Amino acid sequence: MGANLKEVRERITSVKSTQQITKAMKMVSAAKLRKAQEAITRLRPYANKLNHMLTNILGNLDGDASSSFGTARAIKQVAIVVVTSNRGLCGAFNTNVIKAAVALIEDKYSAQRAAGNVTILCIGKKGNEYFKKHHSDCKHIDEYVNIFEDLSFDNVAQVSKRLMNGFSKEYTDVVEVAYGRFKNAATQFAEADQFLPVPPMEVEEGAEEENLNADYIFEPDQESLLEHLIPSILQTKFQKYLLDTHASEHGARMTAMDKATENAEDLVKGLKILYNKARQEAITSELSEIVGGAAALEGA
C-alpha cells in the first residue's frame, strides 16, 4: 500500500508541473496573439484604402476592367502555397491547413499532380515536413519556410512577387493558398483561397455612387494605374494570409493550452481523491492490525 501511496504522490507532482508549463505556454501565446492581431489591424487601413482606390478607378473606367492577373487560362502548372506554423502544440490547427492543401492536390488538381505539374511552396516548418514526406512526387520550393521570423511587408512581398512573376510569365497557371483564416482567438478556419488568377472584380454597390460625383484626374491613365495598383493589392492580400495564419496559430495554441491546463486540473483532482483513499485505507488497516494485536495479547 505504501508504494502505491508514493506512486500517486509522484504522479500528482508530475501532472502539476506539466500544468504549470501549459499555463505558461497559454499566457505566452496570449501575448503573442495580441501582437499578431495588432499587425492585422495595422495592415487594415492600408488594405482598405487600396481597395477604395480600386473601386474608384473601376467606377470611373469605361468598359471592362481586365488585368493580366485576372485572365484565367487552361490549367497546366499548379502552385500550392501552404501556410502553417513553425511549431506544434496548437491543437488541430496545422492538420486542418494541411488537410485543406491535400484536398486541393489530391482532388481538385489530381490530373496535374499525375503529370508532375504541382509545385508546393511551404511557409512554416510543419507543412514543409509533412509534404516533403508524403508528397515527394511534387516539386517543392522551400526557401521561404522560415519567413515567419520576419513578417515585415517587404520580406513577405518577395514571395508574392515571385508568385506573380511566375504567373505572368506563364510558369504557373493557378496559385492556391491554404492558410488559417483568423476570426477570433477561439475560432480559426483552415481555408484554401485562389490567389491567382484574381477572381473577377466587382464594383461594390453604394461605393460607386459616392464616387461618381468626384471627377478624378487619373495619372497615368486608368489602365496603367490598375497595372500598378493590382500587384500592390495582391501583395497586401498575401501579407494578410500570413498575418492571419500567424494570429490563428497563437489563437489555436492558446485554446489548446487552456484545454490542457483544465484537463490537468481534472487529473489532479482525481488523483488527489485516489491518494486520500489509499491513505485512509492504509491507516484503517494499520489501526485494525494494532487492535487485533492488542486483542491477541489480552487473550494470552
Partner 1 sequence: MKISVLSPDKSIFEGEITSVKVPGAGGQFQVLNNHAAIVSALVKGDVEIVKGGGEKMSFAIEKGFIEVLKNDIALLVEGVEE
Question: What does the binding site for partner 1 look like in residue numbers (CB under 8 A)?
Answer: 42-43, 45-47, 49-50, 52-53, 56-57, 152-154, 157, 214-220, 224-225, 228-229, 232, 235-236, 239
Q: How far is CA 260 from the centre of its chain?
A: 20
- Least distance in angstroms from the C-beta of 214 to partner 1: 5
Among the listed residues 244, 282, 196, the one whose alpha carbon sits nearest the alpha carbon of residue 2: 282
Q: Which residue carries 491535400 as its cell?
A: 102
122 annotated active-site: no
Ordered DSSP codes for 122-141: EESHHHHHHHHHH-TTSEEE
- Least distance in angstroms from the C-beta of 63 to partner 1: 18
Can you say whether residue 149 is alpha, beta or left, with left for phi > 0 and alpha for psi between -120 and 50 degrees?
Answer: alpha
CA distances from 297 to 118, 244, 284, 294 (A): 88, 79, 20, 5
Among the listed residues 109, 113, 108, 133, the one whose alpha carbon sits nearest the alpha carbon of residue 122: 133
The nearer residue to partner 1, 104 or 233, going by C-beta atoms, is 233
Catalytic one among 57, 81, 90, 175?
A: 90
The nearer residue to partner 1, 47 or 203, going by C-beta atoms, is 47
The set of cell numbers assigned to 293 is: 494485536
- Least distance in angstroms from the C-beta of 240 to partner 1: 10
The nearer residue to partner 1, 107 or 150, going by C-beta atoms, is 150
The nearer residue to partner 1, 42 or 87, going by C-beta atoms, is 42
- The one-character DSSP state at 72 is -
CA distance linking residue 151 with residue 142, whole number of Å: 17
CA distance linking residue 70 with residue 54, whole number of Å: 14
The nearer residue to partner 1, 107 or 219, going by C-beta atoms, is 219
Residues comprising the chain, all counted: 300
- Least distance in angstroms from the C-beta of 121 to partner 1: 21
**Angle at CA 215, nearest 5°, toward 209 and 220?**
115
- Least distance in angstroms from the C-beta of 150 to partner 1: 11
The catalytic residue positions are 90
